[in-house]
Amino acid sequence: MAAATGFWWDEKCFWHAGGSYAFLAPVGGLVQPLAAGGLPENPETKRRLKNLLHVTGLIDALAVSSAPPASREELLRVHPAHYLDEFKRLSDGKGGELGERTPFGPGGYEIAALSAGLATDALRTVLAGGQRNAYALSRPPGHHCLPDKPMGFCLLANISVAVEAALAEKRAGRIAVIDWDVHHGNGTEAIFYDRPDVLTISLHQENNYPRDSGKVSDRGTGRG
């Protein structure tokens, strides 16, 4: 019998270079790196999760998959061309930082597109009936990223790219996104804030990150 749960991952996602941070403060001056490497969004936590699946034997109950990177067409449904072009330009060189706390190294664009591609393929497979549910172990993350402004280690809006693909391909008429994280999923919320076909619900610690974001009174605008 086929596994009911799909598990999407790719080793290349663990190679994303996010710089050296102590929580959200750049290392330097009087700020020392954390003992684990200085970056709260780091590959080791993801490797540990995958290793635990193997150690416990749970991996044998999952349908393990990878996926191609999200295409430019898929990314353009969420992000403007000028943002993608600048991201790619820096990625083809030494890397850089496009916004608030979003450092990346060479090849960062391709890895971020792969992260979005894993989420997109996982959702597509579930909606097509290939799996009952799925988990995408991908990085860099995406829920803080706005269309043309990355934030909080998020370079592309992974979930938003996946949702837009599902809607464009007529796999669903309406989609709900439940974001469960200590931080407000401000990027996903903003992208669909006035949309009647996507409901976003963010469960987060009040006034953590971003500051003054994610109030209970935020209910969308217009038809959203």
The set of catalytic residues is 144
| Cβ proximity of 150 and 79 under 8 Å | no
CA distance linking residue 119 with residue 117, whole number of Å: 5
> Which residues make Cβ contacts (< 8 Å) with residue 198, sequence separation at least 6?
163, 167, 174, 175, 176, 177, 192, 224
Segment holding 96, helix H or strand E = strand 96-97
CA distance linking residue 214 with residue 199, whole number of Å: 14
Query: What dihedral do alpha carbons 99, 103, 106, 108 form, nearest 10°?
Result: -70
| Cβ proximity of 173 and 197 under 8 Å | yes
What is the separation, in whole angstroms, between the first and last Cα of the chain?
41
CA distance linking residue 143 with residue 126, whole number of Å: 20
CA distance linking residue 217 with residue 53, whole number of Å: 39
